[in-house]
């Protein structure tokens, strides 16, 4: 009958500690945030988004672009012509999804957001994943 919730937490904590020692510190890896106060800027029609191979609307660059989650423009990265960054500076559209690895970046938070944990982001993450890989994302066990 007992569900044993949390009974295995001691071993997973020690594993986490080991990972922190291996990858922590100056490796540059930052945990994505699970909280962002700019989600009110999200476009309310994210069930239809451009395909991941869409070109940048400003320079026609075709790979590793970002999708603005506020107006659904596709714009290139800061490593190409910085059009997503420019767009944020002009319009304050701070939420963008990377079509290269499907991570979500908030320019205002200056941080990655966890699209599988933040409920408002999960639907568009799943649609982008489906468009990119042709299948639904695997369920992550938390
Ligand atoms: Zn934010
Ligand atoms: Zn561009
Ligand atoms: Zn926008």
Q: For residue 84, give the CATH number of its domain.
A: 3.30.40.10
In a domain, 98, yes or no: yes
Identify which of 46, 37, 54 has the alpha carbon closest to the alpha carbon of residue 108. Answer: 37
Ligand 3 centroid–CA 16 distance in Å is 37
In a domain, 87, yes or no: yes
Residue 138 has a pLDDT of: 86
Q: How confident is the model at residue 15 (pLDDT cuts 50, 70, 90)?
A: low
Residue 95 has a pLDDT of: 98
In a domain, 114, yes or no: yes
Task: For residue 69, give the ligand nearest its CA.
Answer: 3
Task: For residue 91, give the ligand nearest its CA.
Answer: 3
Identify which of 90, 95, 87 has the alpha carbon closest to the alpha carbon of residue 46. Answer: 95
Burial class (CB in 10 A: 0-12, 13-18, 19+), 48: exposed
In a domain, 32, yes or no: no
Residue 28 has a pLDDT of: 60
Domain containing 55 equals: 44-132
Task: For residue 56, give the ligand nearest its CA.
Answer: 2
- Give the total number of structural domains in the chain: 1
Q: What is the pLDDT of residues 31-40, one digit of tens each?
A: 899 999 999 9
pLDDT at 99 over 50: yes
Ligand 2 centroid–CA 89 distance in Å is 14
Q: What is the pLDDT of residues 20-32, one digit of tens each?
A: 544 444 556 678 9
Ligand 1 centroid–CA 94 distance in Å is 7
Encode burial over 101-117: b for 16+ CB neighbours within 10 A, e otherwise: ebbbbbbeeebbbbbbe
Ligand 2 centroid–CA 136 distance in Å is 29
Identify which of 60, 87, 90, 89 has the alpha carbon closest to the alpha carbon of residue 72. Answer: 87
In a domain, 115, yes or no: yes
Q: How confident is the model at residue 8 (pLDDT cuts 50, 70, 90)?
A: very low
Which residues are placed with Cβ below 5 angstroms of ligand 1, an ion?
A: 36, 38, 106, 108-109
Residue 139 has a pLDDT of: 76
In a domain, 51, yes or no: yes
| Residue 6 Cα distances to 2, 16, 63, 117, angstroms | 11, 15, 43, 20
Separation of alpha carbons 48 and 127, rounded Å: 8
Unique residue bearing structure tokens 């603005």 = 68
Helix (H, G, I), strand (E, B) or coil at 90: helix
In a domain, 18, yes or no: no
In a domain, 1, yes or no: no
């Amino acid at each position: 009958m007992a569900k044993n919730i949390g009974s295995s937490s001691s071993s997973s904590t020690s594993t986490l500690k080991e990972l922190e020692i291996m990858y922590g510190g100056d490796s540059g890896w930052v945990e994505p945030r699970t909280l962002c106060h700019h989600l009110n800027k999200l476009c309310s029609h994210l069930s239809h988004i451009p395909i991941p191979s869409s070109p940048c609307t400003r320079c026609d660059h075709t790979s590793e672009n970002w999708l603005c989650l506020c107006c659904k423009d596709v714009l290139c990265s800061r490593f190409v012509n910085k059009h997503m960054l420019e767009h944020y500076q002009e319009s304050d559209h701070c939420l963008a999804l990377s079509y290269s690895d499907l991570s979500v970046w908030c320019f205002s938070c200056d941080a990655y957001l966890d699209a599988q944990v933040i409920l408002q982001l999960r639907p568009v993450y799943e649609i982008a994943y489906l468009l990119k890989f042709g299948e639904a994302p695997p369920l992550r066990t938390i």
